[in-house]
């Protein structure tokens, strides 16, 4: 068995930065969200392999009501991001009735991000059942996205996230709008030493 003390001293001996050594091995630093327009922004830090940056709208979206909502964010991280609709619905396990079993999955949903001039950076409009449904089996939420909601911001902002709902049936779960992306794996960067101690 290798000596833990030698393992912890090695990065220092090589002149590498180890920012998490002040805490217990395996713990992550506490991250406070900050406001960004109507959104809250969280930077998971350089140790995050995926979804380092998370912009979340704290106000739930009612998918049972026809509406168009617009929310401004002052800026967006300059990296590959994805626009999501997070449903308050556990992802169905394999073999269980899926999204086709929900009548409200026929609800038409549009999500787009506009720059300061009103130009659409991305735009998707389709029934909820045609979006990609992702998440962890047993988790509390299901995240919906499509290839069209994958984007890289251009310009400095402000930006406006627009959502339009045309309901097809009642009983849809509440939704939360979000933008997530970044991370050393997503960006093709080497693993930072801080990720070892996360």
Domain borders along the chain are: 24-197
Tell me what pLDDT residue 80 has.
93
Token pair listed for 48: 């995050």
Tokens (6 digits) for 142: 């299901």
Cα 137 to Cα 119: distance, rounded to the nearest angstrom: 37
The lowest-confidence range among 6-20, 93-107, 112-126 is: 6-20
* Token representation of residue 192: 């930072």
Kindly calculate the radius of gyration of the chain based on its CA atoms and give it in whole angstroms.
Answer: 20
**What span, in angstroms and rounded, lies between the C-alpha atoms of 89 and 129?**
14
Is pLDDT at 102 greater than 60 in this prediction? Answer: yes
Distance CA 22, CA 126 (A): 48
Q: What is the rounded CA–CA span in Å between residue 98 and residue 96?
A: 6
Question: For domain 24-197, which CATH number applies: 2.60.120, 1.10.10, 1.10.3470, 3.40.50?
Answer: 2.60.120
Diameter over CA atoms, the chain: 63
CA distance 140 to 98: 15
Nearest alpha-carbon partner for 34 in 54, 48, 52, 49 = 54
- What confidence score (pLDDT) does residue 61 get? 95
pTM value > 0.75: yes
Q: Is pLDDT larger for residue 65 or for residue 17?
A: 65
Across 38-42, 58-62, 128-132, 186-190, which has the greatest mean pLDDT?
128-132
Digit-coded pLDDT (tens) for 116-144: 999 999 999 999 999 999 998 778 999 99
- Average per-residue pLDDT in the chain? 82
Best CA proximity match to 62, nearest among 99, 104, 98, 100? 104
């Amino acid at each position: 068995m290798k000596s833990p003390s030698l393992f912890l001293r090695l990065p220092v001996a090589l002149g590498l930065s180890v920012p998490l050594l002040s805490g217990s091995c395996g713990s992550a630093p506490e991250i406070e969200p900050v406001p960004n327009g109507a959104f809250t922004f969280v930077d998971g830090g350089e140790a995050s392999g995926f979804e380092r940056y998370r912009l979340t709208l704290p106000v739930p979206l009612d998918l049972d009501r026809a509406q168009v909502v617009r929310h401004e964010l002052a800026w967006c991280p300059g990296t590959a991001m994805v626009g999501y609709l997070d449903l308050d619905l556990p992802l169905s396990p394999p073999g269980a009735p899926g999204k086709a079993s929900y009548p409200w999955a026929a609800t038409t949903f549009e999500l787009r991000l506009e720059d300061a001039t009103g130009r659409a950076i991305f735009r998707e409009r389709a029934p909820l059942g045609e979006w990609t449904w992702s998440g962890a089996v047993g988790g509390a939420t299901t995240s919906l996205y499509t290839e069209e909601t994958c984007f890289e911001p251009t310009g400095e902002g402000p930006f406006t996230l627009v959502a339009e709902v045309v309901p097809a049936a009642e009983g849809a779960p509440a939704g939360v709008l979000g933008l997530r992306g970044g991370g050393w794996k997503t960006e093709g960067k080497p693993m930072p030493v801080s990720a070892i101690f996360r």
